[in-house]
């Protein structure tokens, strides 16, 4: 029986994200916010552990703007037991260290938890740093890139994949584990799940309630500073061939064939 925390993030759908060409910033309007798809694997791992060990509970925790409540309701609809939203303007501008500091305080405030599950990274920031930073701040064990997580008598067993090998670990709790796609898909919420989630009120806490000092969070608590944002320009001046009929196809394929054989330097 474990008390599991699931960390989820609401992200812009990077596949449809539009950029303002002039300012180089993201156009937020009309761009659907979604649950970070990689966090749903962590939810799947949490629900599997709960199914295997009755009495295990799953608390979904997110830090974000008020409408990040939607992401938490999605987790509730899919089977999480509880949710907590950390919402505070003072948290704006937090880098990964400040974010990890805030989430560690949230875990302490609503815990103690035996196991913290995360996705391997969020698709907007793409850093994957917050999980390991929380483990260090909280003094938890840490396993990243887990393909499977199973409960055992004294803790958990985890399979972790690296570039070189598949490792099997026995991990003492409390621990933070980030999971990969390999744990499987969580599926869709049931109608009942959706209805229950809609009626739930998601508790919201601010950073003062978590006992955080302003100097440790937000911009002030962030060691890193974004000093410049730009659109990448990476242009080569190559040959361009247009195919519009049989003859142009044939000549393009001739050029292509010699190019791929290395006979022609463009």
Which residue from 67, 63, 70 is spatially nearest to 8, judged by alpha carbons?
63
Q: Is 175 in the site for other proteins (CB under 8 A)?
A: yes
From CA 57, how far away is CA 82, in angstroms rounded? Answer: 8
Which of these ranges, 2-10, 192-200, 203-211, 224-232, lies near other proteins under the rule CB under 8 A?
Answer: 224-232
State the minimum distance, in angstroms, from the CB of residue 143 to other proteins. 6
- Look up residue 205 and give its two tokens: 């806490």
Tokens of 259: 């190019």
User: What residues numbered 73-132 form the site for other proteins, per CB under 8 A?
Assistant: 95-97, 100, 121, 123-132
By the rule CB under 8 A, 147 interacts with other proteins: no
| Residue whose CB is less far from other proteins, 14 or 196 | 14
12 is an interface residue for other proteins by CB under 8 A: yes
- Beta bridge partners of residue 10, listed in sequence order: 35
The single residue among 51, 92, 213, 243 that binds other proteins, judged by CB under 8 A, is: 243
Q: Pick from 1, 188, 195, 241: which binds other proteins (CB under 8 A)? A: 241
Supply the minimum distance, in Å, between the C-beta of residue 95 and other proteins.
Answer: 6
Minimal distance, residue 234 CB to other proteins, in Å: 5
The reply on whether position 225 binds other proteins by CB under 8 A is yes
- Find the helix or strand (DSSP H, E) in which 246 lies: helix 246-260
Question: Do the strands 175-179 and 141-151 form a parallel or antiparallel pair, or are they unpaired?
Answer: parallel
Q: Does 52 bind other proteins (CB under 8 A)?
A: no
Binding flag, residue 152, other proteins (CB under 8 A): no
Q: Which residues of 199-231 are buried (b: 16+ CB within 10 A; e: fewer)?
A: eeebebbebeebebeeebbbeebbeeeeeeeee
Cα–Cα distance list, 182 to 30, 47, 144, 145, 185 (Å): 32, 15, 13, 9, 9
When the beta carbons of 26 and 51 are compared against other proteins, the nearer one is 26
Contact between 200 and other proteins per CB under 8 A: no
How far is 106 from 128, CA to CA, in rounded Å? 19
Give the 3-state secondary structure of residue 7: strand
Footprint of other proteins on 21-50 (CB under 8 A): 24-26
The answer to whether 178 and 144 are in contact (CB under 8 A) is yes
Considering only residues 133, 146, 148, 207, which one is a binding residue for other proteins as defined by CB under 8 A? 133
The distance of closest approach from Cβ of residue 198 to other proteins in the complex, given in angstroms and rounded to an integer, is 29
The residues facing 26 across adjacent strands are 19
Strand partners, 151: 156
Nearer residue to other proteins within complex by CB, 80 or 149: 149
What element of type H or E holds 159?
strand 155-161
Instruction: Answer yes or no whether residue 213 interacts with other proteins by CB under 8 A.
Output: no
Can residue 220 be called a binding residue for other proteins (CB under 8 A)? no
């Amino acid at each position: 029986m474990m008390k599991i925390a699931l960390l989820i993030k609401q992200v812009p759908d990077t596949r449809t994200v539009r950029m303002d060409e002039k300012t180089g910033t993201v156009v937020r309007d009309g761009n659907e916010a979604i649950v970070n798809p990689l966090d749903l694997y962590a939810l799947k791992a949490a629900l599997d552990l709960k199914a295997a060990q009755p009495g295990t509970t799953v608390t979904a925790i997110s830090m974000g703007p008020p409408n990040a409540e939607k992401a938490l309701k999605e987790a509730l609809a899919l089977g999480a037991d509880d949710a907590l939203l950390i919402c505070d303007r003072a948290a704006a501008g937090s880098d990964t260290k400040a974010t990890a500091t805030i989430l560690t305080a949230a875990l302490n405030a609503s815990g103690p938890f035996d196991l913290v599950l995360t996705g391997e990274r969020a698709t907007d920031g793409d850093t994957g740093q917050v999980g390991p930073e929380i483990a260090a701040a909280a003094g938890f064990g840490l396993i990243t890139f887990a393909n499977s997580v199973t409960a055992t008598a004294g803790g958990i067993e985890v399979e972790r994949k690296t570039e070189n090998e598949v490792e099997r670990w026995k991990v003492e709790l409390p621990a933070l584990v980030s999971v990969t796609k390999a744990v499987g898909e969580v599926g869709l919420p049931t109608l009942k799940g959706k209805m229950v989630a809609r009626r739930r009120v998601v508790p919201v806490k601010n950073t003062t309630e978590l006992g955080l000092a302003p100097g440790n969070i937000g911009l002030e608590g962030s060691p890193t500073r974004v000093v410049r944002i730009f659109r990448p320009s990476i242009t080569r001046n190559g040959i361009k061939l247009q195919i519009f009929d049989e003859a142009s196809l044939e000549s393009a394929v001739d050029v292509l064939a010699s190019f791929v054989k290395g006979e022609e330097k463009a």
